[in-house]
Structure 1
Amino acid sequence: MTAVEEHTILEFRGRMLMMTVLHLKTLALDALHAQLDKSLQESPDWLRDVPIVLDLPAEGEVSVVELALVLEALRDRDMNLVAVATGTAMPEQEVRALGLGVVTLGDQRTNASRQEKSAARAETPLSTEPAGAAQQTRERIETMVIDQPVRSGQQIYSRGDLIVLAPVGTGAELLADGHIHVYGNLRGRALAGVRGDSSARIFCQQLNAELVSIAGHYRVAEDLPESWRNQPVQISLDGEAMQFMPLKAR
């Protein structure tokens, strides 16, 4: 009997994909258009490439027409929408009919109110503030301190520096206009200088990040130097090159 070589045309691979959650507090189109244009004007190009999950307002029912108009506004701005978060009053089949998947964000809604209290001064109709364009003379207007673990699904943004006195879990995301300090294990995503400040740095006691970014220049987990994994490190930019240095001078 002749052995027949089996050829498969598809293969499933386990891989962690980076996605950003865009939380909309309103579906009012005038306000949405204005905020989108302002945010994208300040954003680097990478925001248009990253997969985005749309988190709709938790209160009230969303109609197919309302969602379709929101999707049109976002897609007209080249935003890469892939899914809508569960928990809306809109049936999943209607979401899928508009060309999007449906995903679960875990305990993000549970944690949202706690984050908003600590970040009240940073609120806008788009609670996930995208990374911004070059703004080298930016004044850091505040420093936010988080003293609890940042868990999967949580997203924290600071208009100044961000200091986390606890571990940052896989699936969590930190964003800051200035520096990011993590006094623990950094397993999630850390994006410093999101409005384009290339002098911003990331400091952590233990580097196991899914993604690190400074002023739009980023590296994902697979691209992090092996010699710096699980190590205390500070990360900075030298031109467009990301530099990794010991947290303390040797």
Structure 2
Amino acid sequence: MTDTAASGVTQCFQLKSASVSMTALELYFFHESDFEQTLRDKISQAPGFFKDIPLVISLEKYEGLSSELDFFKIIGACRRHNIHVIGVRGGDDDQRRLARGASLALLPGGGQRDRDIAETGPQPSETAGADTAQPPPAREVAEPAAAKIINQPVRSGQQVYAPEGDLIILAPVQAGAEVLAAGNVHVYGPLRGRALAGIHGAEHARVFCQSLEAELVSIAGHYKISEDLQDNGWKTAVQIQLKDELLVVTPLDKG
């Protein structure tokens, strides 16, 4: 009798929902040599951050010709730098057809989600009138996602992930560690590793820490590396937020 038979397992796998942190590459136009050179420049700023990451190509602001898009060359350039392109976001029918031909997943862009909502609801009542109009249903208030709280230091090589809410760490985050949250990241100690807030695109998310010593800080895909962070608030208590697509570091009031 096999181990699987003994344990009562009858299927070799099952599907479950999963939340995965991904980086979006917002493409404005494509020229092969320019693309690879820009990719090298970005990776050189934070090589550890980009190694083996899943990447989505965002076409929502693409201004080039569809005929210039060569997803096979984009995939090849990324693979040479250990980056894995898994899909495209947005784009018109021709661009998405090209992506499908390169075996990439097709993800809806923000504009497409808005159109879907506009097309499917809200629906007017077929019998609406002065005498038959019904009051609108009570609006449901969504409960905020509970924060994930970590009491122990996050050590080098560890990753801590809060897929729905805030991440609160009551200890240091060591160099080489990574902390990620859909909402805010709070570190009640030195932040020496990498902190990524708003990983699903929440631009209002912030990073708070008692001592800024980070290798990289990112909010909704916008990031600064250690060399840039040392210009303002280094080794002090700060908050970091996104303003006009730039990360802004401001001191925390200790008064």
TM-score with structure 1 setting the length: 0.49
Which structure's CA Rg is the greater one? 2
Structure with more relative contact order (C-alpha pairs < 8 Å, separation 6 or more): 1
